[in-house]
């Protein structure tokens, strides 16, 4: 449920951003607002607390918007999120917006997990190959995961390519138990 709400808000603001030719700026603003909320978790608690009148919560959000220097459309979105008590989904809205923004900009986000530090040239080669295969600019993030033992796990959107030794051993174990090997 929450992801569909977040997607609707993200889609609405990115469409306005496209019309205004400012969708990238809106993305930066949304990430800035999220950073403020992550840096001050009490702020979110106040905005969600029904003990405070709606007008007080909206006024607080307007002050936050002004202090960050949000554009009128992003500031309006933030006020709507407070009014509808959907401000709790801000992180999901920002994530959905970033995915839509990447699609418009021809970018693809991928992550790679490995049991050891990968040398820069290897990471660059993976990035180049993915770019060649997809025809998109690839933003690659790396995560160290010593539990993999060997190999790599590559995530691209909802696709996971698991070439880790840990997974291969688990598959072999299942086959042995089934008596297939």
Residues with Cβ < 8 Å from 59, sequence gap 6 or more? none
Decide if pLDDT at 157 tops 80: no
Pick the closest to residue 34 from 84, 102, 81, 83 (CA basis). 81
List C-alpha distances in Å: 48 to 45, 60, 113, 124.
Answer: 5, 12, 36, 44
pTM, full prediction: 0.72
Cα separation, 177 vs 181, in Å, equals: 9
What's the pLDDT at 181? 53
What's the pLDDT at 134? 84
158, with CB counted inside 10 A (0-12, 13-18, 19+), is: exposed
* Ordered structural domains, the chain, with CATH: 2-102 (1.10.520.20), 107-178 (3.30.360)
Question: At 143, which helix (H) or strand (E)?
Answer: strand 137-144
pLDDT tens sequence across 99-140: 899 888 888 888 898 888 888 888 889 889 988 888 888 888
Decide if pLDDT at 1 tops 70: no
């Amino acid at each position: 449920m929450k992801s569909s709400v977040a997607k609707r808000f993200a889609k609405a603001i990115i469409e306005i951003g496209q019309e205004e030719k400012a969708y990238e700026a809106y993305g930066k603003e949304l990430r800035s607002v999220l950073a403020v909320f992550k840096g001050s978790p009490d702020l979110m608690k106040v905005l969600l607390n029904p003990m405070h009148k709606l007008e007080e919560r909206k006024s607080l959000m307007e002050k936050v918007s002004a202090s960050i220097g949000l554009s009128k459309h992003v500031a309006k979105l933030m006020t709507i999120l407070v009014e509808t008590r959907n401000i709790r989904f801000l992180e999901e809205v920002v994530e959905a917006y970033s995915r839509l923004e990447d699609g418009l900009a021809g970018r693809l986000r991928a992550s790679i997990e490995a049991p050891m530090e990968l040398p820069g040239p290897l990471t660059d080669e993976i990035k180049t190959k993915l770019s060649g295969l997809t025809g998109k600019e690839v933003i690659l993030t790396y995560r160290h995961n010593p539990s993999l033992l060997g190999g790599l796990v590559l995530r691209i959107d909802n696709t996971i390519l698991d070439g880790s030794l840990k997974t291969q051993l688990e598959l072999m174990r299942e086959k042995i138990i089934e008596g297939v090997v």
